[in-house]
Amino acid sequence: MYKHFFKRLIDIVLSLIGIVVLLLPMLIVAIIIKIDSPGPVLFKQVRVGLHKKNFTILKFRSMPVSMPKDVPTHMLQNAESNMSSFQKAIRKFSIDELPQLFCIFIGTMSIIGPRPALWNQEDLIAERDTYGANDVKPGLTGWAQINGRDELEIDVKARLDGEYVEKQSFLFDCKCFFGTITSVLKHDGVVEGGTGELHKNEDINESPEEASESTE
């Protein structure tokens, strides 16, 4: 009953409250974005939704318009060096994700669920198929987001998404919701550069002896 009725009802009610309460702050953010750099206020991108059907996600634009549009963040070269201080700040505190409240309200997303993959992230989509994670509605935040976020490798992220599918319930969604608030305030797992970036950095910082041991 929760998955098929109450979850959607909660999404509608909370997203509507969020839109009303945050409308003025979002307008202020939009004005600053317009002043801060040339280009549109909103960033629109094709993402993979429920049952692998594509939909358009909305975000506040947090990068220069010159950056490639359909490239995962971890594949962009020197992404942070091209961003303004304001753009870095709204990404750091996940403010750029707020327009997704409208996606939740119309039903293409949920508050809690696996983060929607880019249409061309075939590796992540395939891994999620293994766990049935493509057959639940994508979310604003989820179990993977409070267990590593950008630090996670693709296979680990997909496994956590699958764990969410298995444990999905009102109490588990509450755990994800309140865990997200803590993670955002502490900036846990936010590594500019994206998926598995922390692991890459650790490899780079290894001594030659440690590196050789890790490959054996």
pLDDT digits (tens, 9 = 90+) for 95-104: 999 999 999 9
pLDDT number for residue 68: 72
CA 33, 20, 44, 142 torsion-angle sign: positive
What is the arithmetic mean of pLDDT over 3-32? 97
What is the arithmetic mean of pLDDT over 115-123? 93
Which H helix or E strand runs over 127? Answer: helix 122-131
What gap in Å lies between CA 44 and CA 22, rounded to an integer?
Answer: 20
What is the arithmetic mean of pLDDT over 205-212? 40
What is the arithmetic mean of pLDDT over 122-148? 94
Say yes or no to pLDDT of 208 above 50.
no
What is the band of 130 on the pLDDT scale with cuts at 50, 70, 90?
Answer: very high
Q: pLDDT digits over 36-86, tens only?
A: 999 999 999 999 999 999 999 999 999 888 877 766 665 566 667 778 999
What gap in Å lies between CA 170 and CA 201, rounded to an integer?
Answer: 37
Say yes or no to pLDDT of 211 above 70.
no
pLDDT number for residue 32: 97
Q: pLDDT digits over 181-195, tens only?
A: 888 877 664 444 345
As a three-state string, the secondary structure of 162-214 is HHHHHHCCHHHHHHHHHHHHHHHHHCCCCCCCCCCHHHHHHHHCCCHHHHHHH
As a three-state string, the secondary structure of 13-45 is HHHHHHHHHHHHHHHHHHHHHHHHCCCCCEEEE
Q: pLDDT digits over 146-183, tens only?
A: 987 666 889 999 999 999 999 999 999 999 999 998 88
- Token representation of residue 75: 């594949």
